Amino acid sequence: QSMDEDDLLVDSDSGDAEDGLDERTTVMLRNLPEGFSRQALEELLAQEGFAASYNFMYLPADICTGQTFFYAFVNLTTPREARRFHHHFTGFCSWPVPCSSLAAVEFSEALQGLDQMTERYRNSPMMHPLVPDDLRPALYSDGTRVAFPAPSRRIPAPRLRRGRNGSSRRLTSEGA
């Protein structure tokens, strides 16, 4: 008796069809190489057969240095593509740069789907004009970047945290 592809792509601890978890499309890809950018991830996903399979990507980063925090949120276009992505990138180690980390993939717990990701970030300080474009969340259609919807309210500049005392300040046009 053989298993079909969907049986192979559902993680045993990810729930099952009856509780609706198989409809999830948003994943967190962890253990990215140091210095990995959104452009590098876009290129990797294209090389690995996922060029038109996602419609949202965000790599949280330090605004002052531009360094990402070794993980990304990716929303896949369908639950099937999300399962394929989960299967493909769990334990992935064929990075285009030297890196000994094995990728880990988890379904996002807090937010699921393009609508929730878009609404979460459209008014986020990360979309403020002072934040460099390559550090902002991005939307895609058929593998091509598209504009984020306009904010529905004024976007505050992001806070910059410095030092161990927890002090923070807002990003200004004068820079960090």
Q: Which of 56, 170, 71, 42 is nearest to 113 (CA)?
A: 56
Calculate mean pLDDT across residues 67-85: 96
Residue 159 near residue 132 (C-beta atoms within 8 A): no
Q: What is the pLDDT of residue 5?
A: 38
Q: How confident is the model at residue 172 (pLDDT cuts 50, 70, 90)?
A: low
Q: Helix, strand, or coil here: 76?
A: strand
Q: Which of 129, 118, 117 is nearest to 152 (CA)?
A: 118
> Using one digit for the tens of pLDDT, what is the confidence trace for 92-149?
999 999 999 999 999 988 899 999 999 999 999 999 999 999 999 999 999 999 999 9
**6-10, 61-65, 160-164: which has the minimum mean pLDDT?**
6-10
**Residue owning tokens 């999300």:** 82
CA distance 83 to 5: 10
Q: What is the mean pLDDT of the chain?
A: 85
What is the rounded (10 degree) CA torsion for 78, 83, 87, 90? 90
Q: What is the pLDDT of residue 166?
A: 54
